[in-house]
């Protein structure tokens, strides 16, 4: 596994590159330079070239990168050929919105099961996704070989559910809860803290000028 020495920061940018390359390809563009990419995704051109170089020499000097080849390459790295099944835990406002969000359209993931305690929606289909009782969490996760969960539950029950998810064999949690979860070391947590994003933005605005945060 040669990808082991790819910097975290680079890994986080890969999906962004991939998405933009797809756009270019759809628009019929065949070649692109690091400078053009830089304009679009707002990372320094040198950063982009370095990111790419971790995977070998993907471009041609004096020419740039071949859009299709590059996209195919990143597609493989991002496992675009295999569809990941994702569980949505907590079908409240945000959960509902994420069900409708349709990750599938723009990524290799699909929400294939949702869980809640609300009897009104348990055993219904929401936005094409079956909603199960939380009691069935472990069974469904295992049956459907789900290894990523999106956690959109109230804070007080978040840690408990994280424990159950981890025990059930989930390897990643996209955590919309304000809580910083405790998980075993083989589970990866990605925090999406909306209040924090907004607060941080406000802080920067109040204390400094503009520019990217």
Going by the annotation, the residues of the binding site for NAD(+) are: 90-95
Q: What is the largest CA-CA distance in the chain?
A: 62
Would you state the structure tokens that stand for residue 17, as one six-digit string? 């590159």
Q: Hunting for tokens 């999106």 — which residue is that?
A: 150
Least spacing, CB of residue 41 vs DNA, in Å: 11
CA angle 101-120-98, nearest 5°? Answer: 10
4 is a contact residue toward DNA (CB under 7 A): no
What is the torsion angle, in degrees rounded to the nearest 10, for the CA atoms of residue 114, residue 116, residue 122 and residue 124?
-30
> Where does this chain touch DNA (CB under 7 A) — which range of 3-11, 19-27, 136-144, 157-165?
3-11
Annotated binding site: 90-95
**Could you count the other beta carbons within 10 Å of the beta carbon of residue 206?**
7
- Nearer to DNA by Cβ, of 30 and 123: the residue is 30
5 binds a copy of itself (CB under 8 A): no
Q: Is the dihedral of CA 151, 153, 155, 160 positive or negative?
A: negative
Closest CB 104 distance from DNA, rounded Å: 29
Which of residues 156 and 209 has its CB atom nearest to DNA in the complex? 209
Establish if 65 lies at the interface with DNA (CB under 7 A).
Answer: yes
From the list DNA, a copy of itself, none, pick the one residue 57 interacts with, judged by a Cβ distance below 5 to 8 Å according to partner type.
Answer: DNA
Nearer to DNA, 12 or 145 (CB): 12
Residue with tokens 């053009």: 36
CA gap 150, 183 in Å, rounded: 14
Helices (H), the chain: 8-26, 34-41, 45-53, 67-77, 93-101, 103-106, 137-143, 155-168, 194-207
Q: Rounded to an integer, what distance in angstroms lies between the CA atom of residue 21 and that of residue 16?
A: 9
Report if residue 53 touches DNA, rule: CB under 7 A. yes
Q: Which does 107 bind (CB under 5 to 8 A by kind): a copy of itself, DNA, none?
A: a copy of itself
In the complex, least distance from residue 52 CB atom to DNA, rounded to whole angstroms: 5
Give the residues lining the site for a copy of itself (CB under 8 A). 1, 3-4, 8, 11-12, 14-16, 18-19, 40-42, 77-79, 84, 86, 93-94, 96-98, 100-101, 103, 106-109, 147-148, 150, 171-172, 174, 178, 180, 183-190, 192-213
Give the residues lining the site for DNA (CB under 7 A). 7-10, 33-35, 43-47, 49-50, 52-53, 57-65
């Amino acid at each position: 596994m040669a990808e082991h020495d790819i910097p975290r920061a680079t890994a986080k940018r890969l999906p962004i590159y991939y998405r933009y390359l797809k756009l270019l390809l759809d628009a019929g563009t065949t070649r692109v330079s690091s400078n053009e990419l830089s304009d679009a995704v707002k990372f320094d051109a040198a950063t982009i070239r370095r990111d790419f170089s971790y995977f070998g020499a993907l471009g041609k000097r004096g020419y740039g990168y071949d859009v299709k080849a590059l996209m195919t390459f990143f597609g493989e790295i991002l496992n675009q050929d295999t569809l990941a099944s994702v569980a949505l835990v907590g079908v409240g406002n945000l959960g509902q919105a994420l069900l409708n969000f349709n990750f599938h359209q723009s990524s290799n993931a699909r929400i294939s099961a949702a869980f809640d305690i609300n009897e009104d929606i348990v055993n219904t289909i929401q936005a094409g996704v079956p909603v199960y009782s939380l009691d069935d969490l472990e069974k469904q996760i295992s049956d459907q070989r789900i290894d990523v969960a999106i956690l959109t539950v109230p804070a007080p029950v978040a840690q408990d559910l994280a424990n159950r998810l981890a025990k059930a064999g989930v390897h990643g949690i996209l955590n919309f809860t304000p809580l910083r979860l405790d998980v075993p070391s083989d589970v990866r947590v990605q925090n999406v803290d909306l209040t924090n994003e907004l607060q941080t933005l406000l802080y920067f605005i109040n204390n400094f000028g503009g520019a990217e945060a």
